[in-house]
Amino acid sequence: MFNILKSEHNLPCVCENFPDPLHARREIWVPHMRSLALKEDPHNVILVGHSSGAQAALRYAELYVVHGIILVSATYTDLGDSHERASHYYPQKNAEGGETNPYLFDEMKKNCKNWHQFHSDDDPFIPLKEAERIRDGLGLTTTYHMLPGRSHFFEFDDALLDAVLSLC
């Protein structure tokens, strides 16, 4: 998608390896994303986040104004994985039955008015109900896309490109 957006649509794009790729820690990724956004007009940025990148995009939107966000294979919880839990993106249950580190959906919606979310019914890593919790928290209806048979979106998908272009 990067090559198409850059060469065919002449859009400024960043697609690079992030620091801390194995752990994808929030305290490293979100500031790195901000440093990239500040190289352009930070209010005109469109974030496309896949898997851990989707979690980073959600947490970024809690703090900063962004033009649009496209979430791909986002999950609500750490799915019981201690490695994911250590990234500090996910809410955790507390002793009273509530959550610590909750998603601040109201802040996200205030800072970003344009959302698309993509998930597949056969994602081998993230159950559909996890994506639906993100959808419901953001209040998405027409821009939530459950596309059958796309697995974890390892392959290019025209629907994602169309979503990015719809925000330009």
**How do residues 107-129 score in pLDDT, each as one tens digit?**
999 999 999 999 999 999 999 99
Specify the higher pLDDT residue, 93 or 28. 28
Residues with Cβ within 8 Å of 96's Cβ and at least 6 positions away in sequence, in order, are none
> What is the predicted pLDDT for the residue at 153?
97
Q: Residue 58: left (phi > 0), alpha (psi -120 to 50), or beta?
A: alpha
Per-residue pLDDT, averaged over 155-165, amounts to 96
| 123 catalytic per annotation | yes
Q: Which of 50, 51, 73, 88 is catalytic?
A: 51
Residue 2's pLDDT band (boundaries 50, 70, 90)?
confident
Sequence spans of domains, the chain: 2-15+24-166
| 51 catalytic per annotation | yes
> What is the predicted pLDDT for the residue at 60?
98
> What is the predicted pLDDT for the residue at 46?
96
Q: Which of 43, 35, 74, 88 is nearest to 61 (CA)?
A: 43
Q: Residue 24: left (phi > 0), alpha (psi -120 to 50), or beta?
A: left
Taking the C-alpha atoms of residue 26 and residue 47, their distance in angstroms, rounded to an integer, is 15
Q: Which of 23, 32, 67, 152 is catalytic?
A: 152
pLDDT averaged over the chain? 95
Q: Which of 73, 78, 87, 123 is catalytic?
A: 123
Is the domain defined by 2-15+24-166 classed in CATH 1.10.3720.10? no
